[in-house]
Structure 1
Amino acid sequence: MSGEGMTGTGAGGTSVVVERRVAASPGRVWEAITDLPGLPRVLTGVRKVEVLTPGGFAVGTRWRETRRMLGREATEEMTVTACEPPDRYVTVADSHGVHHVSELTLTPTGPGPPRAEPEPRQVGPEPAPAEPGPPSSA
């Protein structure tokens, strides 16, 4: 099985793609990557997770994730914007003026370990707030 991906566009446009082969069924991998309190045991670099919404993993689920990257620790608030169990989910985060979109896709690869592929997503400035439209005359 394979899966996991991110893309972003900003001033220079940044894209990151990561692929991992995992010797487990898509269902088992899905359980591991959506068990938010257990992420520090599963994902390298994740130090701590604070779940902010009640209920199961679904669109709207939010959490704070503290990671160590490039020798520094950073905490980001993640929100699930798409969820298609047990195949794919998308999260967004806005931090320091950058809008991050991450997509994790689980793809069975036939005999042998499944492959996890992140889909590239665009990362750029935080989206501008929507401007109010003209008054409607109904």
Structure 2
Amino acid sequence: MNITVAVIINGPKRKVWAAITDIENSTNMLSGIIDLKIIEKPPQGLVGLKWLETRKMFGKAASETMWITEAVTNEYYCTRAENCGAVYTTKLSLTAAEPGTCLTMTFSDSSESIWVKMMSAVMGVFLKNSMRKMLKKDLDEIKHYVESKK
């Protein structure tokens, strides 16, 4: 499954970047995150930052350990999570756009497990629509957060 959503934020890239890389403050920005604990903090930069994120999904709390695998300041960063044989990657990228910055989120999942592939095929349409809505809500909340900051 591959999903891409985007939003135009009325603000400079540096301001959007500051918001999306403030992982520790995510619970104050994104209503879908109900708890977040930093597990590892790199000595510098973002690559290697690891956290446990708990979201309410389908009426239940679901926790994932996520980490940043690559990052270019004010351009993009990529995260990875693994669960039950599935690998989830997300890329948040910034591009200049009138009147400010376009924030794009791309989510992908993959698996080597036949069982996980079969479940994805069966549940794919339902999950894809739910995931798209969740990702779009996150971007809209980031937009509101950045634009409300003076």
Match of 2:64 among 76, 79, 85: 76
Distance 1:22 1:56, change over 3 A: farther
CA drift at 1:24:
1.6
CA drift at 1:120:
4.7
Q: Which runs of 5+ in 1 are unaligned?
A: 1-13, 127-138
More helix by percentage: 2
Task: Tell me the distance in 2 between the aligned counterparts of 1:49 and 1:56.
Answer: 20
Q: Which runs of 5+ in 2 are unaligned?
A: 114-150
Determine which structure has more spread, i.e. the larger CA radius of gyration.
Answer: 1
Matched, 1:99 2:87: yes
CA drift at 1:97:
1.9
How many pairs align?
112
The TM-score, its normalising length taken from structure 1, stands at 0.72
The TM-score, its normalising length taken from structure 2, stands at 0.67
Match of 2:110 among 118, 123, 130: 123
Could you list the runs of 4 or more consecutive aligned residues of structure 1 that deviate by over 4 angstroms after TM superposition?
none
Q: Deviations over 1:13-62 (max 9, x none)?
A: x1121212222211111111111121112224111111111345511110
Structure 1 vs Structure 2: percent identity of aligned residues?
25
